[in-house]
């Protein structure tokens, strides 16, 4: 039998009586409601409840599977008013970015020039917030950076399946995107090892890129963060608030 009891503070207590072993498990579940409606967490638990009715021998396993699925970082997009968390979330979810430099090449010398680069701030669900890049001095935008390291770097959840699933156009404010202002700087020593681990972990092809292309690791040195994740215009976040934010929060 399966009984659900709803109590205050959004806590749901579910005593599970599993036959034929006469075992009783008491599971305390805390729900969060996102602006998008029913959370993936509650959906997963509902599916688990169906499995419990049909397959009592595997009911505890079904619940654990549902809970582990619900706790995946991809389900934990922050509320739009927690702007710093949204920025960290986008930075961690996206694995490439548009980088704009001031061109040093004719016929567009002195004009903005945008290019695409693979980036990583670490593994999904465990990033540190710093966008790292793997660059070659042979690349046209990198040559711009050697003259003027100032740049902007932008990422959008349109690069993931989030906006498409929600029916959001990439230009919609609801399809969260972030623009970082600052400079792109080469990193060495211990930080280069951090960058290598972050990038090669999400872009394993990089390991086999030609060794004679003068590759080096770099980071976006963030001085300002711009976030558009809802109606009402762009919002700014200081680097301090950005790095202090926690993009993912456990339900427990």
The hierarchical CATH code for the domain 83-244 is: 2.30.110.10
| 141 touches 101 (CB < 8 A) | yes
Q: Report H helices in the chain.
A: 40-54, 59-70, 83-93, 140-147, 162-166, 189-202, 239-244
Residue 77 pLDDT level (bands cut at 50, 70, 90): confident
Measured in whole angstroms, the distance separating CA 227 from the mean position of its chain's CA atoms is 14
CA dist 142 → 61, 148, 214, 215 (Å) = 51, 10, 12, 11
Alpha helix positions (H), 21-170: 40-54, 59-70, 83-93, 140-147, 162-166
Strand partners, 18: 23
Please tell me the predicted confidence (pLDDT) of residue 147.
98
| CA atoms of 142 and 147, how far apart (whole Å) | 9
Cα gap 217→34, rounded to integer Å: 37
Over residues 211-241, the pLDDT tens digits come to 999 999 999 999 999 999 999 999 999 999 9
Distance CA 38, CA 60 (A): 23
Q: Tens of pLDDT along 86-117?
A: 999 999 999 999 999 999 999 999 999 999 99
CA distance 97 to 91: 9
Q: What is the pTM of this model?
A: 0.71
The two tokens of residue 17 are 């009586």
Distance CA 244, CA 193 (A): 22
Rounded to an integer, the average pLDDT of 22-42 is 40
Instruction: In whole angstroms, give the CA distance from residue 24 to residue 14.
Output: 10
The whole-number average pLDDT for the span 122-133 is 96
pLDDT in tens, 155-194: 999 999 999 999 999 999 999 999 999 999 999 999 999 9
pLDDT of residue 35 exceeding 60, the answer is: no
Is the CB of residue 185 less than 8 Å from the CB of residue 219? yes
Q: What is the CA radius of gyration of the chain?
A: 23
Mean pLDDT taken over the chain: 80
Residue ranges covered by each domain of the chain = 5-71, 83-244
Contact (Cβ atoms closer than 8 angstroms) between residue 129 and residue 121: yes
Confidence category of residue 26, pLDDT binned at 50, 70, 90: very low
* CA 208, chain centre distance (Å): 26
CA triple 80-82-83, angle to 5 deg: 80
């Amino acid at each position: 039998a399966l009984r659900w009891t709803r109590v205050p503070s959004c806590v749901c207590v579910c005593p599970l009586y599993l036959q034929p072993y006469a075992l009783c498990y008491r599971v305390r579940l805390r729900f969060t409601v996102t602006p998008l409606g029913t959370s993936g967490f509650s959906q997963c638990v509902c599916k688990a409840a169906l499995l419990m009715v049909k397959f009592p021998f595997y009911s505890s396993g079904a619940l654990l599977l549902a809970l582990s699925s619900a706790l995946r970082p991809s389900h934990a997009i922050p509320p739009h008013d927690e702007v710093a968390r949204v920025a960290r979330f986008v930075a961690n979810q996206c694995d490439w970015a548009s980088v704009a430099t001031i061109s040093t090449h004719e016929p567009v010398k002195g004009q903005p020039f945008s290019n695409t680069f693979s980036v990583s701030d670490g593994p999904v669900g465990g990033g540190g917030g710093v966008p790292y890049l793997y660059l070659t001095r042979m690349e046209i935008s990198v040559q711009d950076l050697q003259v003027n390291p100032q740049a902007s770097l932008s990422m959008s959840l349109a690069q993931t399946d989030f906006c498409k699933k929600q029916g959001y156009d990439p230009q919609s404010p609801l399809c969260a995107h972030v623009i970082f202002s600052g400079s792109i700087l080469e990193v060495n020593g211990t930080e280069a090892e951090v960058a290598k681990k972050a990038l090669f972990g999400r872009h394993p092809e990089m390991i086999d890129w030609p060794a004679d292309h003068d590759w080096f690791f770099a980071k976006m040195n963030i001085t300002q963060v711009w976030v558009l994740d809802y109606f009402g215009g762009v919002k700014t976040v200081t680097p301090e608030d950005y790095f202090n934010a926690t993009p993912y929060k456990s339900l427990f």
